[in-house]
Structure 1
Amino acid sequence: MTNPEFSPDIEAIRSIDAVPVILRMVKHLTGMRFAAVARVTESHWVACAVDDSIDFGLQPGGELVLESTICHEIRQHKQPVIFGKASEHPVFSLHHTPKTYGLESYISIPIVKSNGDFFGTLCAIDSLAANVEEPAIAQTLTLFAQLIAMNLDSQRHLQATKTALDTANELGRLREQFIAVLGHDLRTPLSAIRMSADLLETKTEDKRSLKLLSAIRKSSLRMGVLIENILDFARGRLGGGIPVQRQVVDDLQQTLLLTLEEVQASHPHATLIHALDVPTGVYCDALRVSQLLSNLLGNAVTHGSTTAPIILNAYSENNDFVIALTNQGTPIPDELMPLLFEPFSRSEAGQRYEGLGLGLYIASQIASAHNGTLSVTSDLESGTRFVARFPAQFKWA
């Protein structure tokens, strides 16, 4: 039975989409057959996530006697421990842990949060020897451990921010500045993860490895979008709206087509139908309009029917530029409508949701920054239809 004290830690690790992929990559890179993320405290060693091909016997929530593990020592010195052949190692040939568990190869990387708190370890073990002492392996696993720590920090900070938004209006400016700082600090380790995936891709032709690397890249891209949404939210609240840089754009249609292709590539099973008739000379911030469309498409893919197409129309109407997106599926409940374009509010009506609920808020802010509107209608017969509208032409005074 799982110790309830550690249920939040197990759930926090379970909620990180990249963890299963990371564990598979750890096994592949090290050649070892057991990998895990462990929560390690001064009194407990608890498995939070496990990928086990040797029937070691641990499941999430399972515990080992703390003193029987090397992680107990790592918690104190916060340094990686790596050996590929315990029986010939000058230190670990005599160590009690390899003898207790019949280990020949071992690697364990500390997971340390941004405030210096030690969470636990990313580790792998095997009863067989393994070539794990190459520096590139330790460096890659260290990046994976940083990614896990970064997610844990993000969960903690975002929950704190949500609470602050609900209960302390007078602290709004400070909490949103904190979000902006958080977004900037997340970018550096995220870039390292992307670069590591790119580097590994050049060194393997194995189809399974390439698939895992693709999954890591997709997770990092999703995280990148999340960071940018957080930053846009902070900028919008701090500066009175999301900033836009408008100019006369002659190729907005091509920009929208590229956005459509990117979303289609990320969601190959979705059916996207479009009819674009975009005029030249649209006075807008093309990148922000692309972001608006991307957010609307992402919302439609996530919450719409998986069997019906998503229909996109873009056109000019009475000197306005219009983007209209329609998807089928369960209508949006009436009680959720007033909250739909508010941040962090997607679950207010008891709806299951993914992400922070910032996408529609940011889309509405982009429309507003263009002196326009974003509206929605939703019913069972016509589906859910979002319409963004703003003045298309620059009018000289």
Structure 2
Amino acid sequence: MPSLLKIICQNTGMGFAAVARVTDGTWTACAVQDDIQFGLLPGGQLKVETTLCSESRAARQPVVIDRASIDPVYFNHHTPRMYNIESYISVPIIHSNGEYFGNLCAIDPRPAVVSDARVVSMFTAFADLIARQLENEDRQERTEVELQSERVTAELREQFIAVLGHDLRNPLSAVGAAAELLARRESEPDLVRLGARLKASTRRMSALIDDVLDFARVRLGAGMSLSIREADFLASALKDVVEEVRAANPQLDIRDDIAINGTVRCDQGRIQQVLSNLIGNAVTHGAPDRPIEVRAAIEGDDLVLSVTNGGTPIPPDDLAKIFQPYWRPANSKPGGGLGLGLYIASEIVAGHAGTLRVTSGASEGTCFLATIPAA
């Protein structure tokens, strides 16, 4: 604004230029270039009825005076006489939605040829520029306020989720203990079956709580907690994961080829979680009549894990979203989880300085491939 007002004064020879906010009752200077000691500073106000901007506002047209003392319309007007003005120009500043903001104006006690078409065009162009700039600033301010509000809301939501997940553990432990007691009532088969179902539900709920807490830690800035050390029996630990899934899904054909020779430097529990999440995803979304193939091996300097399942290929647009939190495909079955498993798996792999990728096609199936440095 200051640079623009300087240009106006230099090109017109007038000594005072201003951008004013004009309403029914107020005239307020927003920006000022004062080379004639008019005495008005930014934030200063005039009575709107003493200005010609009120008339420009009413007509939504420029008011232009070259020499007020002999102007046929304004020679006897109170504004030029009150402020000792000879030359005057005021152009409305109107937003693109038609809302009136104020005026771009210039005055001088000396006459000036401001009615020239080029001068009026310059003022009109500058007024339009100011209107667009004000709109851009308003949009930016609204966006920043909305973004800050979203950040606060997101942080509160994630803190709530973390607290809720933590507080659910105690009642869940009680349910798990009750399920274990029921499962031991071998003389009452119905109670044993009920206990087994409760134990399975408890394990599933515990996994969901773990996912929620992991997600909250990452999003609240604590990061994925890892305890990386030498793992000598990783192959056995991964086989345990496969066996657990097999036991819970006896109707599925789950095949494994796990051959890890030597020590892998990793968080063994977290690597088990990655494999569990990937197999769980295959169980949920894979074709029940196609096998799920699990592979783990050391290739070069890397630990490579893969889980492959058959079924409907993942659409290309969905592949780009599949590791986003809470995202689930449109055709997901109800009750299929929170949509955090793959996100958490990707965060764990990233925490090990590795990569997790996915490919999907009709013939080769869907394959999740994790590559993690072994040392």
Paired residue for 2:344? Answer: 362
Provide the secondary structure at the position in 2 that maps to 1:344.
Answer: coil
Provide the secondary structure at the position in 1 that maps to 2:168.
Answer: helix
Paired residue for 1:243? Answer: 225
Paired residue for 1:343? Answer: 325
Separation of aligned partners in 2, 1:355 and 1:306:
18
Equivalent residue runs for 1:228-307 within 5 Å: 228-239=210-221, 241-307=223-289
Paired residue for 1:91? Answer: none
Separation of aligned partners in 2, 1:333 and 1:352:
17
Query: 1:356–1:369: structure 2 CA closer, same or farther, 3 Å change rule?
Result: same
Separation of aligned partners in 2, 1:298 and 1:318:
28
Paired residue for 1:170? Answer: 152
Conserved 8 A contact 1:246-1:283? yes
Conserved 8 A contact 2:183-2:193? no
Provide the secondary structure at the position in 2 that maps to 1:377.
Answer: strand
Separation of aligned partners in 2, 1:329 and 1:200:
37
Among 351, 354, 358, the alignment partner of 1:376 is: 358
Provide the secondary structure at the position in 2 that maps to 1:343.
Answer: coil
Q: Which runs of 5+ in 2 are unaligned?
A: 1-146
Provide the secondary structure at the position in 2 that maps to 1:314.
Answer: strand
Separation of aligned partners in 1, 2:172 and 2:257:
36
Separation of aligned partners in 1, 2:261 and 2:185:
46
Conserved 8 A contact 2:183-2:194? no
Separation of aligned partners in 2, 1:198 and 1:293:
26
Provide the secondary structure at the position in 1 that maps to 2:370.
Answer: strand
Provide the secondary structure at the position in 2 that maps to 1:381.
Answer: coil
Paired residue for 2:179? Answer: 197
Separation of aligned partners in 2, 1:247 and 1:216:
34
- State the Cα deviation string for residues 214-235 of structure 1 (Å, max 9, x = none): 1122112111111111111111
Separation of aligned partners in 2, 1:249 and 1:333:
37
Separation of aligned partners in 1, 2:185 and 2:356:
47
Conserved 8 A contact 1:252-1:280? no
Normalising by structure 1, we get a TM-score of 0.55
- State the Cα deviation string for residues 247-287 of structure 1 (Å, max 9, x = none): 11111111111111111111111111111121322110000
Separation of aligned partners in 2, 1:253 and 1:180:
32
1:170 Cα shift?
A: 3.4
Provide the secondary structure at the position in 2 that maps to 1:332.
Answer: coil
Separation of aligned partners in 2, 1:270 and 1:357:
22
Paired residue for 2:298? Answer: 316
Return the index of the structure with the highest Cα Rg.
Answer: 2
Aligned length: 228
Conserved 8 A contact 1:341-1:360? yes
Separation of aligned partners in 1, 2:262 and 2:354:
18
Separation of aligned partners in 2, 1:204 and 1:312:
35
Provide the secondary structure at the position in 1 that maps to 2:176.
Answer: helix
Q: % of aligned pairs identical? A: 45
Separation of aligned partners in 2, 1:240 and 1:379:
37
Provide the secondary structure at the position in 1 that maps to 2:314.
Answer: coil
Equivalent residue runs for 1:211-226 within 5 Å: 211-226=193-208
Alignment partner of 1:186 is 2:168? yes
Q: Which runs of 5+ in 1 are unaligned?
A: 1-164
Conserved 8 A contact 1:324-1:387? yes
Separation of aligned partners in 2, 1:199 and 1:276:
35
Conserved 8 A contact 2:185-2:192? no
Give the aligned residue type for 1:381.
S
Provide the secondary structure at the position in 2 that maps to 1:242.
Answer: coil
1:203 Cα shift?
A: 4.6
Give the alignment's Cα RMSD to 1 decimal. 2.0
